[in-house]
Amino acid sequence: MSGKGVLYLCATPIGNLEDITLRALRVLKEVDLIAAEDTRHTKKLLNHYGIKKPLLSYHEHNRRQRGRELLSRLLAGQKIALVTDAGTPGISDPGAELVALAVAEGIPVVALPGPSAAITALVVSGLPTSSFCFEGFLPAARGARRRRLEELKKEKRTLIFYEAPHRLLETLADMLEVLGDRPVAVARELTKVHEEVWRGKLAGALEHFRQHPPRGEFTLVVGGAPPEDEEGSGAGLSPAAHVALLVEMGYSKKEAIKEVARQHRLPKRLVYEEVHRGEEK
């Protein structure tokens, strides 16, 4: 074993203080030092569990200098737990930078899994979870935000965004304009007393939050690009005509039936039967 320390990435609750693992509590008790995004915030969690440990801040504004300091402590053999205000360190916070520094120095990094707002929102959204795309915060400036949304327009996977309450309305409006009226779940204050998940479409969400000014923490889960945006899409075509189009494009009949069934959300057998009926006429 090297004389190097260990950097533990310690997931903490995103609201409900009970959402912390037994392992995280043990490690927080065992380490030499806890690096926290906001030491006052983390103190509340530690007090709740009767943990007393030296705390050092590590956040967006001191990450360069503090990162070097934490690194030299790790190289000297200290065990350090990194925690953020909420959720899993490294997701939309400076944690990933410290991990990169530690990895570059060959310092062992151990992740202690736990809550993350992105995954929590995704699983309650009711939208497809089989593949998804985490975008974090969109740019704050309108032009850059819309450009990013344009880039995402064809993304078929479910999209997950973090957003600040004071930007929620403008972001929903831009999403509606650029992406179209897609399904959305607006997850607010997850795991907290005022937890709420608004489900519907972007236009409805915009109207709802115009009437109920956004407060608290928000994660948005937005449906991916609809099948109509796909290459060779048969928007407006019957399944049989769509199969014919794909065959013309070079698909085998079997592949075309499979693809049309997927895009039209129909059982393959139904598409096959329709194609077959058309051929018999």
Please tell me the distance from the alpha carbon of residue 57 to that of residue 67, in angstroms, as a whole number. Answer: 10
Closest C-alpha among 273, 231, 229, 272 to residue 249: 231
Q: Select 124 or 225, whichever has its Cβ closest to ligand SAM.
A: 124
Choice from 46, 70, 145, 163 touching ligand SAM (CB under 6 A): 163
Choice from 28, 46, 117, 256 touching ligand SAM (CB under 6 A): 117
Q: Select 164 or 235, whichever has its Cβ closest to ligand SAM.
A: 164
Piece of 41-49, 127-135, 159-167, 176-184 that binds ligand SAM (CB under 6 A):
159-167
Interface of this chain with ligand SAM, residues 169 to 198, rule: CB under 6 A: 187, 189-192
Residue at shortest CB range from ligand SAM: 87
Choice from 6, 19, 93, 260 touching ligand SAM (CB under 6 A): 93
Closest C-alpha among 14, 258, 83 to residue 247: 258
260 binds ligand SAM (CB under 6 A): no
Interhelix angle 268-280/239-248, nearest 10 degrees? 80
159 binds ligand SAM (CB under 6 A): no
Please tell me the distance from the alpha carbon of residue 112 to that of residue 10, in angstroms, as a whole number. Answer: 5
132 binds ligand SAM (CB under 6 A): no
Phi, psi of 223 (to 5 degrees): -60, 145
Q: Select 14 or 80, whichever has its Cβ closest to ligand SAM.
A: 14
Interface of this chain with ligand SAM, residues 212 to 241, rule: CB under 6 A: 217-219
DSSP-derived secondary structure for 217-254: -EEEEE----GGGSTT--TT--HHHHHHHHHHTT--HH
Burial class (CB in 10 A: 0-12, 13-18, 19+), 36: buried
Both tokens assigned to 99:
């991990």
User: Considering the complex, what minimum distance in angstroms separates the CB of residue 90 from ligand SAM?
Assistant: 7
Footprint of ligand SAM (CB under 6 A): 14-15, 84, 86-88, 91-93, 116-118, 162-164, 187, 189-192, 217-219
